[in-house]
Amino acid sequence: MAEYVLGARDAVTARAVSEETRAIRNDNDQDLKREEIGCPVQGSEVQGFSPHGSAVLAFTQPAELRQARYFKTLLHAQRAQVQDELAWHCSRLVGLKGSNARGCMRHLTQQITEKRREEYELDCLIEALRQRFFPSAATPRKPARCFDVEVTYRRGSWTIHIPDIDATTKVCQRDQTELAARVYIAVNVGMPIREIAVRLRDHERGSGR
């Protein structure tokens, strides 16, 4: 049972987060450059449609585009900060492995969980801006990995079992299971939530796994 994050991946998780941070910053810089090139609209109606254009973008005013670029840059900066904090928390957790500081490890695990959720919220906001204002720069991101998840109703709550990482967690409502599973997996394997997909399967209590 996975009680704490990282498990057998302790030695690589913090390094992976740091590498992910550098890669994302490079992607962010490229995105901003593509957006400058891919958004020539100057407040007038565009005749016809480009392969990546949209009817909404055709009527976008220059001031709206400037605001969108400003907020997108701000969101990228916030995401980079979250990535730095994730790397720091993971490094601290790695340093505590093998010690008796269980309370501190549990607290760090919770902080990492919160940071992964914050990272996911920022990813959703950034993608929404891309699709609304910069469709030529928006590229679909498919989940990198898919996990099977077993969901069982027990004593007023839903138990989520993830066989691939031999881990279990609980939520109060059925509609919370997908995101809760993705968050839990992200924390344990050291991946962004947006790169994780799950296949939910209702599991009858008492049946064999």
The tens digit of pLDDT for each residue in 18-27 reads: 555 555 555 5
Is it the case that residue 108 has pLDDT exceeding 70? Answer: yes
Give the mean model confidence (pLDDT) for residues 43-62: 47
Give the mean model confidence (pLDDT) for residues 107-111: 94
Nearest Cα neighbor of 170 from 158, 179, 162 is 158
Same domain assignment for residues 128 and 158? no
Same domain assignment for residues 11 and 71? yes
Domain count for the chain: 2
Angle at 1 between CA 204 and CA 90, to 5 degrees: 130
Please report whether residue 152 resides in a domain.
Answer: yes
Is it the case that residue 94 has pLDDT exceeding 80? Answer: yes
Same domain assignment for residues 45 and 12? yes
pLDDT tens figures, 128-166: 998 888 887 656 666 578 999 999 998 889 999 999 999
With contact defined as beta carbons under 8 Å apart, do 197 and 143 qualify? yes
Q: At what angle do helices 62-96 and 10-38 cross, to 10 degrees?
A: 170
Q: Give the domain extent around 152.
A: 145-202
| Strand arrangement of the beta sheet that strand 145-154 belongs to | 167-171, 157-162, 145-154, 196-202
Which burial class, exposed, middle or buried, applies to 87 when counting CB atoms under 10 A from its CB (0-12, 13-18, 19+)?
buried
pLDDT tens figures, 188-209: 999 999 999 999 998 776 555 4
Same domain assignment for residues 55 and 96? yes
Tokens read off for 71: 């907020």
Residue where one domain finishes, among candidates 79, 99, 133: 133
The residue ranking higher by pLDDT, 137 or 46, is 137
Same domain assignment for residues 27 and 114? yes
Cα gap 113→185, rounded to integer Å:
10
Same domain assignment for residues 86 and 20? yes
Cα gap 21→80, rounded to integer Å:
7
Is it the case that residue 124 has pLDDT exceeding 90? Answer: yes
Question: What distance lies between CA 15 and its chain's CA centroid?
Answer: 17
Nearest Cα neighbor of 138 from 56, 43, 16 is 56
Nearest Cα neighbor of 31 from 112, 121, 148, 126 is 126
What average pLDDT is seen over the chain?
77
> Cβ of 160: how many Cβ atoms within 10 Å?
24
Say what the pLDDT of residue 65 is: 87
